[in-house]
Structure 1
């Protein structure tokens, strides 16, 4: 399937030579491969927090579920981001796939 983009000069979509989905996946792949190639990269608690992040839970929800303060959740997420070489929750979720 080819990606589509809108040509501002007309109202018809114009086909391009690339698949936008593949471009996104290629851009994220290095983070995923580096992050999850080494299972020991995250400690147990960070792994638990990462799973909850991947489930879409808020920091407050994670804190309640894992019996920790919101500040501790934020600190764990900061360490997870640093260890995985990312800066957003979506890439953490993708890494768990």
Structure 2
């Protein structure tokens, strides 16, 4: 049987959301500016949220490969005290 091809080159509009797991095993979703996102208990909910928020634009959601851990970072802290917080995600490494 054939295998599904994995597109490594994002759509010309660019990646808006990144989806992956944090060190605690929760699914993390955040946009590239750290303004929209959330923590989820399962992958399907995380991807569904990201797809909805990006209007189902092809290439707008990037799923981090298994073994990579995302650090939610400052984007998930209280935004009212730090309006200048940068991107919310940082790739931590292989677990």
The TM-score, its normalising length taken from structure 1, stands at 0.27
TM-score w.r.t. length of structure 2: 0.28
Q: Which has the larger radius of gyration?
A: 1
Structure number having the greater strand percentage: 2
